[in-house]
Structure formats: C-alpha cells, structure tokens
Structure 1
Amino acid sequence: MSNRVGIDAGGSLIKIAYEEDGRFHYRKHTIAEMDGTLNWLKTVFPNEMISLTGGRAGIIKTRFFPEAEIVDEFSAACDGANYLMMQEGLSNAENSLLINIGTGTSWFKMNGESYSRVLGSGIGGGTFMGMGKLLADSSDFATLVGLAATGDKGNLDLLVKDIYHPEEPPIPGDLTASNFAKTEEINSSSTADQMASILNMIAETITLLTLQTATLHNTKKVIFIGSTLTGNKPLRNSLEFYCQMSGLDSYFLQNGEFSGSIGALLK
C-alpha cells in the first residue's frame, strides 16, 4: 500500500499525520513555519497521496500540493476521532458528543459512523493565547499553561464561599460565582492568577455548553480532542472536574489533536 499523508491546517497550527510502513506518525508546527514544513514534506514524500483539511487547506493546495484532495474539516475530525476511539477500545456504538477544542470549539453529535455538528463557540485555545498576550505579554503556549498551573483563580474570581462566608454554602464553595469579579484585587494580582482565572473561565464555559448540548441530545458520554488540550494539564483537570460534577462521563483521546489530519489521511 502506498504511504499516505493527511494535513490539517487550522487557524494556529499545521498538524500532519503520515503513514510509513503501515504505522501512523505525527508532527505539529505553527502556521508561521508553514513554508519550511511543507517544503520538507514535499522532499520527504514526493509521490505520496496528500489529503488536506482545515481553513488553510485551499492555500496549501494552491501553493504546494495542486493534486491533493481537500476533505471537509468536520468530517475529517470525526473520522479521525472514530479511528482513535477504535484504537483505544472505546465504543462508538451509542450516542456521544465529540468536543474539539482548537482555536475555537466545536461540538459534534456522534453515533457510529454518523455525526453532525451541533454547536460552535469562539471560546477556545485562541482565547487563551490572546488573553495570554494581553495579560502576560507572551505568545508561548507552554509558558502560559505553566502560569495558569501555578496561579490561584480565587484571587480574582468571586467564589461561592466568598459570598456565603462565614456560613456554609449550599453548593461547593470553590465554584465560581462571577469570573474576575474581585475588582479591587485585579491591579495587585499576579499574572499567574490572571491566567488561572482565564483558563478556568474557558473550562467552565465549555463544560456548561457541553452539559446543555449533551442533555439536548440525550447522552452523558463526552469525548474531548483538540490541540488546546495538549500539554495542558490544568485545562484537562478542570474539564474532568466540572464534567464529573455535572454527571458527564468524559474521555480524552490520546493524539486527539491529530484527529483532523488522521481523518484526512483516511479519506
């Protein structure tokens, strides 16, 4: 069988899945590295089948791979996620939600090989990076995640326990009553606290939208993929916590950030 290559070119990253001797391999680069990355790919795989997906697929086809096939990005993400689910022994036979947290976030209803996009939000990794540039003057994802991991959202967010103190609150006290509501502490707060609050707000928003969508589509099984989760333990931990509290069964696919490029490859 000929080797195959799938490229998912989104708003921030180029993700590549390629088959070599029957095994899948993965690479990830920033959009700023596009020219060098794709010229390398043309050199290493000069005669392979190339499939493209994502918002920049048309540009890449025109400039680098005129013979390539363009695959719808939503189909590619779901097909790739289905493949990874099978690899991990996770059943796709019942209704589930697939949540793809990239630059923004998309929700898909899935049942076997059938799927449809049911919701989208501008809250996602792009939000985290943009606020990181504003608050921490950094565009490095790992640096911003590290700050969020060491910060304390309670120094900025008004928590339920803050309102009820000294009484015992009727719901868990560490839940957020209002994001960034401790206005008197904002100027004296640390950058780490600010990034922790931003990340928590993203996690809460995604979980709330997930819960509402899961209820609407009669499922409790939710599967997370997307590049924003890679190396982002604070976000994953928050999503797991909020999903568990909401009665949702959450799963995080290994190599889930490459679902789109895998789906393109499989086409």
Structure 2
Amino acid sequence: MNNSIGIDAGGSLIKIAYEEKNRMHFRKHSIHEANAAIGWLRMISLNKTITLTGGRAGRFKAEYFPEAKIVDEFTAACKGAKYLMMEEGRTIHEKFLLINIGTGTSWFTIEDEHYDRVLGSGVGGGTFMGIGKILAESNDFSKLVNMSQKGKRGNVDLLVKDIYDPEEPPIPGNLTASNFAKSAVKDISSPSDQMASVINMIAETITLLTVQTAALHDIKKTVFIGSTLTGNEPLQSSLKLYCKMSGIEPIFLRNGEFSGAIGAMRGN
C-alpha cells in the first residue's frame, strides 16, 4: 500500500488522493474550504508522507505541512494520467497528447515515460466561471453547466447556415461563423443560451489549439483530464464532436481531475 497522500493545491480546488485498504480514494474541496480540508488531512496523515503539487503547493508547505515534498505540477499531472490509463486498461503505444483543462488549459506530448509541455492557454474553467458570473450572475459551477444544457447557442452565435440561408452551405451548417455575433444585432437570447455559447466557444478554442498541436507533432490521439470536465457533459460532448470531425480520437479518463494528486502521491 502506498503510504503517501497526494495533494494538488490549485487555484480553485484542493484535490486529494490516498490509498486505504488497497483502494484509491479521492476528495475534493473548494480553495475557500481549505481550513476544513487541512483539519481532515491532519487527522489521517499520521505516519504518512504528504506530497504537494499545484500552484499553491509552496503556500501549503509553508503554512501547514513543512515536512512535505513538492512535485512539479506538470510532471504530477502526466504521471497521474498515465496511472489512470493503466487502471482503465487504456494502452497507447504511440505518442499522444494529454490536455489538462483546469482553470486554464495545458497541452503535453507523452511518449513512453517522456513528457513535454508544449502549449498553454488562458481559456479553461476559469473562463467559464468568470463569464458565467458576468452573464448569468452565478458562480455555481453545476448551475452554470445545467443552464448551458438547456440553452440554444444558435440564439447567440452566428452559424454557417445563417450566412448561407436559403442556400445549402458547403460545410456543416451548425458550425460557428462568429461567436456571440447575433447579440450585436438582436436581443433574443437568454442566460442559458449565452452559457451554451460560452461552452461551445471554449470547446472550439481548445479543439483548434489541439488540432494544430497534433498536426505539428504528428499525433492522432488525445487524452483529456481536468476538473472543468467533471460533471460537464456539454463540454465533453462538444470536444468529442469537434475532435472527431478533425480526425483526432478523444479519450476522457474517469477521475481525470485527480491526475495531479495521484501523480504527487505515487511520486514517492
């Protein structure tokens, strides 16, 4: 049994991985619940090694766990994702992309045990939450996701079929010609429509960068992880659609949001 506790202390969430009775367990707390998370950790961490990763790892070490080790967050995410792939029986023999959609988004190439971070973008979960606060006046992730499921982005986005109407477009008509463009000329959209448009814009942006990165590195498969995907079926569905349209095979890992914490825990 692994006698370590892995903590991924990110910008928005604290994610924890540990083993008990030969089973992997996970916990997640908002960064605003740090005191409750630390109290619980101190109760279970007797005779265990704490390993930290993430942007707030240094702060957590200084304030709560001075004896803890720190693992680079990119290495931890890649190692954790590889472990989850093994647990799920997903073997990829060629080079592939790992895409971590957290507050922002990072792209990695992985080949055997070699990892390289090749790209980063500020578009990610933080974008979704920030625009959600502006448009829907909510900072509840689940509520914003549910709103996007009920919305119709065609009331907000100018679609290809809108431009070509009444002619048949040369490419699929439901593709976006311009994000949010209809809002400039008419006010027919609801907050749910707007959140549907936000989800789609994030998916399109991530896919565009993924396709370009995959072409540059001659890659056909990509693995997605990150907290922004958890419980976010609209984002997952859009990423699947756009990746497959672009000739890329998308893979989504169960518990992928805990990749960093798992990589930290298993780094000892």
TM-score, length basis structure 2: 0.98
What letter matches 2:118 in structure 1?
V
Mapped contact 1:82–1:92 kept (Cα < 8 A): no
1:162 matched to 2:142? no
Kindly provide the CA deviation profile for residues 205-259 of structure 1, in whole angstroms up to 9, marking residues without a partner as x: 0000000000000011000000000000000000000001001000000100000
Kindly state the Cα deviation for residue 36 of structure 1 after the two structures are TM-superposed.
1.2
Q: How far, CA to CA, are the matches of 2:264 and 2:234 in structure 1?
A: 30
Identity rate of aligned residues, in percent? 65
Structure 1 residue 69, shift from structure 2 partner = 0.2
Q: Where in structure 2 are the equivalents of 1:1-267 lying within 5 Å? A: 1=1, 3-182=3-182, 183-185=184-186, 187-267=187-267
SS in 1 for 2:82: helix
| Rounded Cα–Cα distance in structure 1 between residues aligned with 2:81 and 2:93 | 13
Q: Secondary structure at the match of 1:38?
A: helix
Q: Deviations over 1:142-182 (max 9, x none)?
A: 00000001000100100000000000000000000000011
List gaps (5 residues or longer) in structure 2: none
Q: Any idea what SS the aligned residue of 2:134 has?
A: helix
Q: CA deviation at 1:89?
A: 1.2
Task: Find runs of 4+ consecutive structure 1 residues off by over 3 angstroms.
Answer: none
Cα shift readout 1:20-66 (whole Å, capped 9, x = no counterpart): 12211000110000111011111122221110000000111111111
TM-score by length of 1: 0.98
- Any conservation in 2 of the 1:2–1:48 contact (CA below 8 Å)? no
Maintained 8 Å contact 1:148/1:234: yes
Letter in 1 for 2:185: E
Q: How many residues align?
A: 266
CA apart distance, 1:107: 0.1
State the secondary structure of the residue aligned to 1:250.
Answer: strand
